[in-house]
Amino acid sequence: MTGDPAVSTLAGVASPMVGEALTDAISAAIAGLYRQFYGHDRTTATTYLNDNVVLCVLEDILTTSESRLVTFGCSQEVIDGRISFQSNTQDAFTAAVEKLTARRVVAFLSANQTTPGCACELFFLDGEERGPIAVAVPSAGAGR
């Protein structure tokens, strides 16, 4: 048995999180990556899981600099920068979802909007679980 209350166990074998524990953990992980990569911690995340699809909706995503650019009419430049950045960091996003779901991500799509500053991270999962894993849940504060 693990000492982590977020990981359920049966006869000492860890199994992946499910339900709200899983969606909360995905939200925390994705918001944490936004914090790490974009350098601010205002972003909130809500995750939905349905069959082989994970959708993480993020709000308040823009940095102070990006917000200023949008104010000056440079929304497309902000979007272009985020698209470029996302293509270079997608491995970290897919790895987080794969670890938490114990399933392989077969496709990843990202969309951003500047007014309001929001984003959607969409993950398509394969149909098979990879087996029991133990997962540490990131600290609270990332929203649901």
Provide mean pLDDT across the span 76-103. 93
Contact 43, 31 (CB under 8 A): yes
- Nearest CA among 118, 132, 134, 108 for reference residue 53: 108
Q: What are the pLDDT digits (tens) for 32-74?
A: 999 998 888 888 999 999 989 999 999 999 999 999 999 999 9
Question: In whole angstroms, what is the distance from residue 117 CA to residue 110 CA?
Answer: 14
